[in-house]
Amino acid sequence: MKPMLALGLVVAVLAAVAPFLSIYGQHIFVLVALYGSVALAWNILGGMAGQMSLGHALFVGAGAYLSTALYLNLGISPWIGLVLAACLGGALGALMGYTVFRRKLSGVYFALVTLALAEMALHIVSNVSVLGAANGLAIPARPSLANLQFTSKLGYCYAALAVLTVAAIVIIAIHRSRLGYVFLAIRENERSAAALGIDVVQGKVIAAAISGALAALVGPIYANYVLFIDPESVLGVTVSIDALVFSFVGGLGSLFGPLLGTVVLVPLTELLRGMLAGRLAGIHLIVYGVILVLVMRLAPRGLWGLLSDAIARRRA
């Protein structure tokens, strides 16, 4: 139970610290927790099971649009929307995984299918008027716990932290179970995994389903934090790329490297944005690109790899 205990401790510390942060600090807290959750979700499929997706925006967007559309049109509480979003994300992940992996598509073909699916979803949503088409959906501000809206940023900090905690618990649980070894075997060598009697397709489908469900959980929280969603912001390719960047920079093979990547890059982004005050749009993406290339060249195991190497060296 040691990792769970450590997780509980970290979450408790974060929860205790959150009220003392400035408003701006709390904003960063929310962003890091939300992006971190998507990155952790991405890493279950991309890092643990080794199937690189370029379309996780599909899950985030599906979750955001489902809960928002249900709330706006039928008055269904976003809490129920949150549960349904996870179900939808899991179902989409399983369906996508089943159709793709059954046909033995992997590597770049898998990346392209996922990219195309997310882009197609973006164009479909842009043409559906119930979903606000290209203009997006605005959520009227009615703060109450039942509406998953809070008067202060602190409430959102806890909501985002809760999602992050769920993702972390799932990852630790997978890692300690047989499923974790199945994912590892698939990632390292599919053929030997199959030879050992592992159902490779089933393993990848499960990874896609869990990954999709967790990513979809972020959608409703994000929608209720910003109170506005449009196709580009939740279904756009940048959402998928961000998850990938954070994971690779943080360290693909590790359990919590993607979170480390988020913790470093998101505040850096906000800092840059503040310094440049709106000039030179996109500069943070140049920085992402440079860091991505440098990490691939100099430290393919990411920041987490660097960190654990340094610790190992000190102990030795």
Could you tell me if 224 and 213 are in contact, meaning their C-beta atoms sit under 8 angstroms apart?
Answer: no
Q: Which of 35, 42, 288, 304 forms a contact with another protein (CB under 8 A)?
A: 288
Question: Which CB atom, from 123 or from 176, has the smaller least distance to another protein?
Answer: 123
Rounded CA-CA distance 76/232 in Å is: 25
Q: Which stretch binds another protein (CB under 8 A): 76-84, 106-114, 189-197, 260-268?
A: 106-114
Could you tell me if 100 and 256 are in contact, meaning their C-beta atoms sit under 8 angstroms apart?
Answer: no
- Distance in Å, CB of 166 to another protein, minimum: 27
Rounded CA-CA distance 169/35 in Å is: 17
278, with CB counted inside 10 A (0-12, 13-18, 19+), is exposed
296 binds another protein (CB under 8 A): yes
Could you tell me if 93 and 212 are in contact, meaning their C-beta atoms sit under 8 angstroms apart?
Answer: yes
Q: Which stretch binds another protein (CB under 8 A): 15-23, 76-84, 98-106, 173-181?
A: 98-106
Rounded CA-CA distance 219/59 in Å is: 8
Could you tell me if 200 and 190 are in contact, meaning their C-beta atoms sit under 8 angstroms apart?
Answer: yes
108 binds another protein (CB under 8 A): yes
* CA–CA distances in Å: residue 146 to residues 2, 76, 256, 293: 35, 10, 32, 44
Tokens 């929860």 sit at which residue?
Answer: 15
Helix (H, G, I), strand (E, B) or coil at 137: strand
30 binds another protein (CB under 8 A): no
Q: Which of residues 245-274 bind another protein (CB under 8 A)?
A: 245, 248, 252
109 binds another protein (CB under 8 A): yes
130 binds another protein (CB under 8 A): no
- Distance in Å, CB of 268 to another protein, minimum: 14
282 binds another protein (CB under 8 A): yes
For the chain, how are helix, strand and coil distributed in percent, rounded to 5?
80, 0, 20
Q: Which of residues 188-247 bind another protein (CB under 8 A)?
A: 237, 241, 244-245
Q: Which of 9, 141, 271, 293 forms a contact with another protein (CB under 8 A)?
A: 293
Could you tell me if 29 and 18 are in contact, meaning their C-beta atoms sit under 8 angstroms apart?
Answer: yes
Q: Which of 83, 138, 154, 283 forms a contact with another protein (CB under 8 A)?
A: 283
184 binds another protein (CB under 8 A): no
Q: How far is CA 169 from the centre of its chain?
A: 14
Across the chain, the runs of DSSP E, i.e. the strands, are: 137-138, 228-229
Q: Which of 120, 196, 275, 311 forms a contact with another protein (CB under 8 A)?
A: 120
Q: Which of 4, 9, 19, 107 forms a contact with another protein (CB under 8 A)?
A: 107
Binding site for another protein (CB under 8 A): 50, 52, 99-100, 103, 105, 107-109, 111-113, 115-117, 119-120, 123-124, 126-127, 237, 241, 244-245, 248, 252, 280-283, 285-286, 288-290, 292-293, 296-297, 300
